[in-house]
């Protein structure tokens, strides 16, 4: 069996991916792809990993957990999605991104040590991500939230390298969250593993949530009279209509970092761009680029 672990990260997906795949669960199952309801496995995986203390599960334990998740359904591929796989929100930023993420995923993978593993996750501009995470958390002021973290030194590559060190045989498939509206069908296919030519119900919902009704109608008309012949052509069409008809409140998230200068925010963005370019060169990493 192959297991696709969708790791989030926080403040990028909000369960949109797994909800879309669940809408297509019956159709995917016909291809040997199972998308179990998260309620069946999130708490179970957390508790099982704690009980195993990082050790590989026995064949009997694997079978027991798998039966609870799949409820007897045969599968060649299983998709598990949870943005708390790497850490719960309060531990997502402790000097770096998901400092224990590599170890946590090794422990979680050891629940099914014989399965082939893929890690799928979106990366986001650190300035926007930190701002959004702080806005969503409760109970900590900025000083406590950011304690021990140098904003200018945040790099996703630290997490990616840790994931590889602890899970050297796991495939890593990444994308920039900022590109998600343009590459969403490819993200869905990469995570689910569904065959070419299969169109998922709800695959257009993300773009629809970002565009005005008038823009959607105009884009639909354009695509009907000018059907794209390639993925690149479709992305160009979507990009052009989002530029013209995108809803600013949906596309533009304000960055609020108390005490941070505009120069620091710019530096964080430039560091992110360089970091993405570096991550793309790492062996074993596949980037879905717009």
How many domains in the chain? 1
Please report which confidence band the pLDDT of residue 252 belongs to, taking 50, 70 and 90 as the band edges: confident
Mean pLDDT of the chain: 95
**Is 46 within a domain?**
yes
Q: Does 106 fall in a domain? A: yes
Q: Is the pLDDT of residue 249 over 90?
A: no
Query: Tens digit of pLDDT for each residue in 151-172?
Result: 999 999 999 999 999 999 999 9
Q: Is residue 255 part of a domain?
A: no
CATH number of the domain bearing residue 156:
3.40.50
The SS3 assignment for 160 reads helix
- At 20 the pLDDT is 97
Q: Is residue 128 part of a domain?
A: yes
The pTM assigned to this predicted structure is 0.95
Indicate whether 185 belongs to any domain: yes
What counts of helices (H) and strands (E) characterise the chain? 14, 6
> What pLDDT is recorded for position 217?
95
DSSP 108-154: HHTTSTTSEEEEEEEE--HHHHHHHHHHH--S--HHHHHTT--GGG-
- Report phi then psi at 3, rounded to 5: -115, 125
Residue 249 falls inside a structural domain: no
Please report the pLDDT score of residue 250 as a whole number: 86
Q: Quick check: 124 pLDDT over 90?
A: yes
Q: Which one-letter DSSP state was computed for residue 246?
A: B
Q: Which helix (H) or strand (E) holds 63?
A: helix 59-70
Query: Does the pLDDT of residue 130 top 90, yes or no?
Result: yes
What does the pLDDT read at residue 98?
Answer: 98
Three-state secondary-structure class, residue 173: strand
pLDDT for residue 139 is more than 90? no
Domain boundaries, position 187: 2-201+264-287
First to last CA, the chain: 30
Percent of the chain exceeding pLDDT 70 equals 100
Distance CA 118, CA 171 (A): 5
Q: Is the pLDDT of residue 270 over 90?
A: yes
Who's near 44: CB < 8 A, 6+ residues apart?
A: 65, 68, 69
pLDDT of residue 72: 85
Mean pLDDT, residues 249-255: 87
Q: How confident is the model at residue 290 (pLDDT cuts 50, 70, 90)?
A: confident
| Calpha distance 264→257 (Å, rounded) | 10
In a domain, residue 256? The reply is no
**According to the model, what pLDDT value does residue 251 have?**
86
Give the tokens for residue 128.
């926007």
Reported as a single tens digit per residue, the pLDDT across 175-230 is: 999 999 999 999 999 999 999 989 999 999 999 999 999 999 999 999 999 999 99
* 221 part of a folded domain: no
């Amino acid at each position: 069996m192959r297991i696709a672990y969708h790791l989030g990260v926080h403040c990028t997906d909000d369960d949109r991916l797994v909800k879309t795949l669940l809408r297509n669960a019956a159709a995917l199952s016909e291809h040997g792809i199972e998308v179990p309801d998260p309620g069946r496995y999130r708490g179970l995986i957390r508790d099982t990993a704690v009980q195993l203390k990082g050790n590989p599960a026995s064949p009997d334990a694997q079978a027991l957990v798998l039966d609870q998740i799949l409820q007897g359904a045969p599968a060649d591929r299983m998709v598990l999605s949870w943005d708390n796989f790497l850490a719960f929100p309060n531990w997502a930023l402790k000097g770096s991104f998901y400092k224990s993420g590599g170890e946590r995923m090794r422990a979680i993978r050891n629940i099914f040590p014989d399965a082939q593993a893929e890690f799928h996750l979106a990366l986001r501009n650190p300035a926007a991500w930190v701002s959004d995470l702080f806005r969503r958390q409760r109970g900590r002021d900025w000083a406590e939230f950011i304690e021990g973290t140098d904003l200018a030194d945040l790099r996703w590559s630290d997490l990616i390298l840790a994931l590889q060190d602890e899970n050297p045989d796991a495939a890593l498939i990444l994308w920039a969250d900022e590109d998600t509206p343009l590459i969403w069908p490819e993200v869905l296919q990469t995570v689910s593993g569904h065959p070419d030519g299969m169109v998922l119900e709800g695959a257009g919902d993300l773009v629809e949530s970002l565009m005005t009704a008038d823009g959607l109608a105009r884009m639909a008309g354009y695509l009907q009279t000018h059907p794209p012949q390639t993925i690149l052509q479709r992305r160009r069409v979507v990009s052009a209509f989002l530029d013209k008809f995108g809803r600013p409140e949906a596309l533009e998230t304000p960055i609020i970092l108390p005490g941070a200068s505009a120069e620091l925010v710019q530096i964080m963005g430039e560091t992110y761009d360089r970091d993405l370019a570096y991550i793309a060169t790492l062996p074993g990493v596949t980037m879905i680029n717009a």
